[in-house]
Amino acid sequence: MPQLTSRLDLSAAAHALRMSNDDNRAGGPSGPNTSVITKVKPKTKRPNLYRVLILNDDYTPMEFVVHVLEKFFNKDVEAATKIMLHVHHHGIGECGVFTYEIAETKVTQVMDFARKHQHPLQCVMEKK
């Protein structure tokens, strides 16, 4: 019993033959089943960084600011004192540079701690 071939099958076969001939003339792959697989490396972007800043006020004791810097920013006494004096003389001082989520958490922790101890200390973050 002869097998019947549809027009669609013939059209696809003719197209494949033309593609094969085009590839061979151009020095390309040797057949319609040849393909090239390439791995694409995903491009990763570095996260934005944010500076966490403490603002000066006339009421928060210097010792409390030093304690905050030690507790929330892992500064030693010398580094914390240096930052506190910078805040005292210049009105603002950088506590550290972090990704958005960490900076936001640090600001919230400092503000909550200051309120709990009834100090008006202000801590903010800004994009670096």
pLDDT digits (tens, 9 = 90+) for 13-65: 555 555 554 444 445 555 567 788 888 888 899 999 999 999 999 999 999 99
Closest CA to 123 of 36, 54, 20: 54
Give the residues across from 96 on adjacent strands: 52
Tell me what pLDDT residue 34 has: 79
Q: Write down all domains in the chain, each with its CATH number in brackets.
A: 55-127 (3.30.1390.10)
pLDDT tens profile 51-108: 999 999 999 999 999 999 999 999 999 999 999 999 999 999 999 999 999 999 999 9
Beta bridge partners of 55: 92, 122
What integer pLDDT is reported at residue 98 of this predicted model? 98
